[in-house]
Structure 1
Amino acid sequence: MIHIKNISKSFDNKAVLNNVSFSIGDNAITSLIGPNGIGKTTLLNILCGVLSPDQGIIECETPYFTREIFTVLSGNQHLYAKNTVKENIYFLSTLRGLSKGEIKSNIEKYHTYFPLYDSIQGSLFEELSFGQKQLTTIFAALVANSQYLFLDEPTEGLDLAHKKQLASVLSLIKQFKTILLTSHDLDFVSSLSDELVFINNAKIVNISKSLSKEQFLKVYETIYGEEQGNENYLL
C-alpha cells in the first residue's frame, strides 16, 4: 500500500495540489477523478519521482518502491519506435535486472492476458495501432516485474474494441498488481475502479469505494457540475 500524506505543489504561486492525502490499496484499481487540468497528472508525476512536492511525503511498505513503478503517461512514447515488440520487451526487462530465462518465463506467464503478442512480437513498435501500443506497453511492464502500474488517461485515443480489451486486462491483473489510473473517461473508470479519489480546487473532495454508474455520475455532477458530467460521460 502507498500512503500519500499532505502533498502540496504549486506552479507560479498557483496551488495545483493542496494538502492532498489518501492511500493506494494493493491488488486494486484506484482512480484519480476530475476534468483536465485539475492536478491528476501532477500528482502522478510526484508519485513516480518526476516531480518533487513542495511539502508532504509518500510512504510505502515496499522499500525502494519507485524502482517497481511503471508509468504510462498520456501521449508519450514509452518504447523504442524502431525496435520490434519482442526487442522492446527484452530490453526493458533487462534494464530492470531480469535474465533472459526470467523474461521468457514472464512472457509465458502473462501471455494469457495478451494473446495478441504472438501476432505482433516481430512488428516494429511504430507500426502498431495506438491501442496496440498501449496494450504492448502494459505487457512490457508486467514482464519487467513492475508491481505498481500508474496509467495516465489510458483510454485516450483508443477505439471501443481496444478500450474493452484494456478494461479486461486491468480487471485481471489487479489481482496481483497495484494500479493507479488518472482519467476523465467517466464510463471507463466507473465500471473498473475499486476506489475513486475526486480532486477539485487542488484538494481531495471525495473518496468513494466502488460506485454504480448512476451513483458515480451523481457524485461527479455534485462536485464538478452537471454539464461537465454529461460531457465526460459520453467520451
Structure 2
Amino acid sequence: MLKLQHISKHFDNKAVLDDIHVEIGTGEIVSLLGPSGSGKTTLLNLILGLTKPDRGSLEFNSVDITRFPMKKRGFNIVFQDYALFPNLNAYDNIVYGLRNKKGIVSEKEVQDYIDFLELRPHLQKRIGELSGGQKQRVALARTLVTKPNILLLDEPLSALDGVIKESIKRRIQSVAREFKLTTIIVTHDPEEALTLSDKILIIHQGKVAQFGTPQQIIHQPDNDFVRRFIIEQLHIKRQNIYNLFGESYV
C-alpha cells in the first residue's frame, strides 16, 4: 500500500535519513521507533508531505506520490499536543476540518465516529474541560471524519499515564482494525511500539536498524544496537513485555 524506496534526506549537509526502504501493508499499524535525533520525525514529515526527499520515492497504491503536496496525498495526522481549538467545544473541533470538504462524510458517519470513540457525553464540553484521554479521542475523531488514506500519529501516548494510556492503545488498534486504516506512529518508547504495533521500523542514525514484527524484534534482533536499545529501554517496563513474550525476554 505504501512503499518507501531508497529515501534519503539531508539538512545542512548532514544525512538525517539514509536509504530508507520499506513497504507498509493496508491496515497495518507500524511504529517508527528510535532515540531522539534518529530521523523518525523527519520520515513522518516526508510521508505526510511536509517535506520532500533528496533522493528516493514514495508510492501509495502503486502511484508515485513523491512530489504530491500534502493535500493531494489524503493523509492526516494527530499531533503530539492534539492541536485542538480551545475556544470551541468538542463537537465543533471534530467537524472543523469538514467546512471546506462538503460531502466527504455524512452526518450519520460523523455520529458513528463519535459513538465508536465514546465521545457523546463530552460533545458540548470545551477543550479545557476534557481529560488527556478525552482530548486524544477528540483529535482522533477530528482526523477520522476526514477519511484519511493513512493515519499518522506523533507520540500519541506521551502525555498519558496508566489506565488512560492503555485505553488509548486499544482505541488506536480498534480504529485500524475497524476501518482497515493504515496507521503510522512515531514513538521513542519501545514498550509502546511492541505492545501497539503489527510491525516496528527501528531507525538509528538515519538508517533502518530493523523492520519486523514485535516478536521478531524481541526474539531475533538484527544487530547489537537493536538488542541494546530494546533491553535498556525496557528494564523499567517488564510486566507488559512479560505478558507478551514470556519471562525469558524481560
Q: Same fold (TM over 0.5)?
A: yes
Q: Which segments of 5 or more consecutive residues in structure 2 lack a partner in the other structure? A: 238-250
Task: Give SS of 1:156's match.
Answer: coil
Q: Could you say which residue in structure 1 is the equivalent of 2:36? A: 36
The normalised TM-score by structure 1 is 0.86
Q: Could you say which residue in structure 1 is the equivalent of 2:107? A: 104
Larger CA deviation: 216-225 vs 145-154: 216-225
Q: Could you say which residue in structure 1 is the equivalent of 2:84? A: 79
- Give me the whole-angstrom Cα distance separating, in 2, the residues matched to 1:42 and 1:174: 23
Return the offset for 1:4: 0.7
Q: Could you say which residue in structure 2 is the equivalent of 1:2? A: 2
Task: Give SS of 2:215's match.
Answer: coil
What root-mean-square deviation, in Å, do the aligned CA atoms of Structure 1 and Structure 2 show?
2.5
Q: Could you say which residue in structure 1 is the equivalent of 2:166? A: 164
Match of 2:116 among 108, 113, 118: 113
Match of 2:182 among 178, 181, 188: 178
Q: Could you say which residue in structure 2 is the equivalent of 1:15? A: 15
Q: Could you say which residue in structure 1 is the equivalent of 2:74? A: 68
Distance change >3 Å, CA 221–CA 122, structure 1 → 2: farther
Distance change >3 Å, CA 227–CA 27, structure 1 → 2: closer
Distance change >3 Å, CA 196–CA 233, structure 1 → 2: farther
Q: Which segments of 5 or more consecutive residues in structure 1 lack a partner in the other structure? A: none
Q: Could you say which residue in structure 2 is the equivalent of 1:190? A: 194
Amino acid of the residue matched to residue 97 of structure 1? K
Amino acid of the residue matched to residue 206 of structure 2? A
Q: Could you say which residue in structure 2 is the equivalent of 1:48? A: 48
8 Å Cα contact 1:48-1:66 kept in structure 2: no
8 Å Cα contact 1:171-1:192 kept in structure 2: yes
Distance change >3 Å, CA 111–CA 73, structure 1 → 2: closer
Distance change >3 Å, CA 233–CA 26, structure 1 → 2: farther
Distance change >3 Å, CA 3–CA 97, structure 1 → 2: farther
Return the offset for 1:220: 8.8
- Give me the whole-angstrom Cα distance separating, in 2, the residues matched to 1:62 and 1:143: 25
Aligned residues: 229
> Identity rate of aligned residues, in percent?
27
Return the offset for 1:144: 2.0
Q: Could you say which residue in structure 1 is the equivalent of 2:95? A: 90
Return the offset for 1:128: 2.2
Amino acid of the residue matched to residue 94 of structure 2? I
- Give me the whole-angstrom Cα distance separating, in 2, the residues matched to 1:159 and 1:200: 27
8 Å Cα contact 2:209-2:226 kept in structure 1: no
Return the offset for 1:126: 3.4
Amino acid of the residue matched to residue 123 of structure 1? K
Deviations 1:47-83 (A, max 9, x none): 11111111111111176785421112323x4222211
8 Å Cα contact 1:33-1:184 kept in structure 2: yes
Distance change >3 Å, CA 85–CA 153, structure 1 → 2: same
8 Å Cα contact 1:6-1:19 kept in structure 2: yes
Q: Could you say which residue in structure 1 is the equivalent of 2:26? A: 26
- Give me the whole-angstrom Cα distance separating, in 2, the residues matched to 1:232 and 1:173: 27
Task: Give SS of 1:126's match.
Answer: helix
The normalised TM-score by structure 2 is 0.81
